[in-house]
Amino acid sequence: AQTVTQSQPEMSVQEAETVTLSCTYDTSENNYYLFWYKQPPSRQMILVIRQEAYKQQNATENRFSVNFQKAAKSFSLKISDSQLGDTAMYFCAYNNAGNMLTFGGGTRLMVKP
């Protein structure tokens, strides 16, 4: 079974600075998909960014980018120019094109003014 590990339960960053959230996963598959979801306080979870394993280029969405290291099974999220609205729980997730999404335990990020 696939597992997803987020080793940082909590992190904080000053507004306008850059922060990196870590995620590692375990799989024997060659083709799969990785996601970062964001859950703001008392609000619905939303997709931040996704990466397809067969694509070597790292995905980027505005201030959010990933560092995908397939051999190391690592998928970190970098948030540049952090904003107060980035305060949230962040979940890394894995899907092997099957039916089930496997989530990590989450990282609580606090952006400080």
C-alpha 87/C-alpha 113 separation (Å) is 11
Q: How far is the CB of 91 from other proteins (least distance, A)?
A: 6
Nearest one of 61, 46, 58 to 93, comparing CA atoms = 46
- How many CB atoms are located within 10 Å of the residue 98 CB? 10
Contact 53, 31 (CB under 8 A): yes
With respect to other proteins, which residue has the nearer C-beta, 43 or 71?
Answer: 43
Q: How far is the CB of 14 from other proteins (least distance, A)?
A: 25
Write out the binding residues for other proteins, residues 72-111 only, by CB under 8 A.
Answer: 91, 95-101, 103-106
With respect to other proteins, which residue has the nearer C-beta, 79 or 93?
Answer: 93
Q: Per CB under 8 A, does 28 bind other proteins?
A: no
Contact 30, 40 (CB under 8 A): no
Residues 6+ apart with CB under 8 A from 52: 33
Write out the binding residues for other proteins, residues 37-56 only, by CB under 8 A.
Answer: 37, 43-47, 50, 52
Q: How far is the CB of 98 from other proteins (least distance, A)?
A: 5
Could you list the residues that contact other proteins (CB under 8 A)?
A: 4, 6, 9, 33, 35, 37, 43-47, 50, 52, 91, 95-101, 103-106
